[in-house]
Amino acid sequence: MTTAPRIALVTGGNKGIGLAIARQLAAEGHRVWLGCRDAGRGEAAARALRGEGLDVRSVLLDVTEDASVAAAVAVLEDAEGRLDVLVNNAGLMFASSPSLEAEPLDEIRRMFETNVLGALRVTQRFLPLLRRSKGARIVMMSSGLSSLGDALDLRSETWTVGLGGYCASKTALNMLTVKLAKELASEGIKVNAVDPGLTATDMTGNGAGHAPEVGARPAVALATTHAYGPTAGFYASSPAGELVPVRW
């Protein structure tokens, strides 16, 4: 008897870490939907992964638009009837200003709309489908820059990093992760945040950092964790690929 594949949705899934997460989940037997705000790029990415023999599809999804998220829910409900894994990967970051005093409020507002409210909007809308899973997993793509402990630690490599608005948005996302994890624990739905580490993507100017395939590892590990796996946690990946706790 053929076992039905687990169904996963990765927002911002047409490139970078999101695409790497999709590829790895699909390689492990998931049917993966790429949630993308550009339908053409989303379908091109899905087609490329299908060319690798992976079960990947695309769905139009702008995390900042209520109507877009609602339409994506309708597509997955009609096609799948449930959702087993939600990876809130879509994110936005603007170049660093000289100081938080000079950082444009409009840019900060847009980052919060995508990084915080977008992730919550998608989660809220997809919860009915996640509740139909026998063991749903929600993964929030956070950042090591969100850590309050590291921000206050002179020894931390992030001590001198600016990006106040971006860092604050990811710290807020961490709190939502904890709150959601507590609320959903009794239903067997696990919610965790991940730090992909410095990763060479379009968001970081494709500069220093490891490959997206490496940055994807902690998200994939938490998306596929077993019934006794963690929830309400914040994790990165060790060089050996093992989950390592990150301080909040």
Q: Annotated catalytic sites, by residue?
A: 166
Rounded to an integer, what distance in angstroms lies between the CA atom of residue 120 and that of residue 180?
9
Residue 182's CB is within 10 A of a number of other CB atoms, namely 12
Cα dihedral 199, 202, 204, 206 in deg (nearest 10): 70
CA dist 192 → 47, 163, 177 (Å): 29, 23, 6
Rounded to an integer, what distance in angstroms lies between the CA atom of residue 85 and that of residue 138?
6
CA dist 125 → 5, 68, 86, 122, 158 (Å): 22, 11, 11, 5, 34
Residue 114 is classified by DSSP as: I
172 token code pair:
């807020």
235 token code pair:
């994790």
Percent of the chain as helix, strand, coil, to the nearest 5 = 45, 15, 40
